């Protein structure tokens, strides 16, 4: 209904705002804990209202690469259970999981359905099979979720209602043929280690990502858009944090050839020198 609220945690994938606005909803933001980029649960609890219909989480996270810990998920689920009972409403937890397989150093990505019944999982093969833009994936709607039969019925016609028909048949067949393939984590991990360590040596501040393929780096100046513009002079393309609701930071993607990572470090050094 118009005015219904959906909560998400800053920083977040910028299109969430459009998804909610398209249906006259209100996106409620939870400010970031920049020390860890784990959710601020006290603020989260305070911002749940009788109008809250859903909460969107994305872990491993775009743009930070942070994986929400099992402890965080348990506490988040407990808050949501408490608020459902308090308000007598159903609040759905929507888990956006295109990066599920991309986790490093033995980090486990919790399955949210294990901790909260009203969970809907949206999975995409875009990242695990390197098919960005194809938008092929699936929804998990557990029987335990409230009104699950209607949720499933709605999902069956969602693409048509949104103005689409289906993913291209050819690409559906490609995905089917690749279902047993595994993501080569070592490719991304080498890029992650090289870029993270290189940037830290140059004095840049960032959390070491546990998943996905991004670094979320603190801008050396308050206006991170100006920093992004300066980076272009060195053929470095980075995304301002304000695109993710978190100004003062920039996102760097390391899903490129290893040689590109290595060749970028001298240019990052020149860029850093501008701000000393």
Mean pLDDT over all residues of the chain?
95
CATH number of 185-274: 3.90.1150.10
pTM metric for this prediction: 0.94
CA 74, 81, 29, 6 torsion-angle sign? positive
pLDDT at 61: 98
Evaluate whether 6 touches 28 at the Cβ level (below 8 Å). Answer: yes
**3 state SS of 19:** helix
The tens digit of pLDDT for each residue in 163-196 reads 777 788 898 999 999 998 888 899 999 999 999 9
Evaluate whether 104 touches 192 at the Cβ level (below 8 Å). Answer: yes
pLDDT at 131: 86
Provide the pLDDT confidence category of residue 2 given band limits of 50, 70 and 90. very high
Strands 119-124 and 137-140, by their bridges, are antiparallel
**For tokens 């043929």, what's the residue?**
177
Pick the range with the lowest mean pLDDT from 35-44, 136-145, 154-163: 154-163
**3 state SS of 96:** strand
Q: Which CATH class is domain 5-177?
A: alpha beta
Pick the range with the lowest mean pLDDT from 17-26, 178-187, 265-274: 178-187
Answer yes or no: is pLDDT of 50 > 80: yes
pLDDT at 167: 80
Percent of the chain with pLDDT over 70: 100
Name beta bridge partners: 121.
95, 140
Strands 5-9 and 26-30, by their bridges, are parallel
Structure tokens at 19: 């998804």
Name beta bridge partners: 9.
30
Give 114's contacts (C-beta < 8 A, 6+ positions apart): none
Mean pLDDT value of segment 240-261: 98
The tens digit of pLDDT for each residue in 222-241 reads 999 999 999 999 999 999 99
Answer yes or no: is pLDDT of 149 > 90: yes
pLDDT at 74: 98
Q: Where are the domains of the chain?
A: 5-177, 185-274
The tens digit of pLDDT for each residue in 105-139 reads 999 999 999 999 999 999 999 998 888 888 889 99
């Amino acid at each position: 209904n118009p005015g219904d609220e959906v909560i998400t945690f800053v920083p977040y994938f910028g299109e969430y705002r459009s998804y909610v606005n398209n249906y006259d909803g209100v996106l409620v933001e939870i400010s970031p804990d920049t020390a860890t980029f784990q959710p601020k649960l006290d603020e989260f609890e305070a911002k749940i209202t009788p109008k809250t219909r859903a909460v969107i989480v994305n872990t491993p996270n775009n743009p930070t690469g942070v994986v929400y810990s099992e402890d965080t998920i348990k506490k988040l689920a407990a808050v949501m259970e408490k608020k459902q009972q308090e308000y007598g409403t159903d609040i759905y937890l929507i888990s956006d999981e295109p990066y599920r397989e991309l986790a490093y150093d033995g980090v486990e990505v919790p399955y949210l359905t294990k901790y909260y019944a009203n969970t809907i999982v949206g999975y995409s093969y875009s990242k695990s099979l390197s098919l960005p833009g194809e938008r092929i994936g699936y929804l998990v709607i557990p029987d335990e979720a409230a009104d699950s039969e209607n949720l499933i019925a709605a999902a069956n016609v969602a693409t048509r209602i949104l103005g689409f028909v289906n993913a291209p048949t050819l690409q559906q067949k490609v995905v089917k043929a690749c279902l047993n393939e595994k993501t080569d984590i070592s490719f991304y991990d080498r890029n992650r280690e090289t870029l993270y360590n290189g940037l830290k040596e140059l004095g840049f501040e960032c959390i070491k990502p546990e998943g996905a393929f991004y670094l979320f780096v603190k801008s050396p100046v308050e206006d991170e858009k100006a920093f992004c513009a300066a980076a272009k002079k060195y053929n470095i393309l980075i995304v301002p944090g304000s695109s993710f609701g978190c100004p003062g930071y920039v996102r760097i993607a390391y899903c490129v050839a290893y040689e590109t990572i290595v060749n970028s470090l001298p240019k990052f050094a020149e860029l850093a020198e501008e701000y000393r």
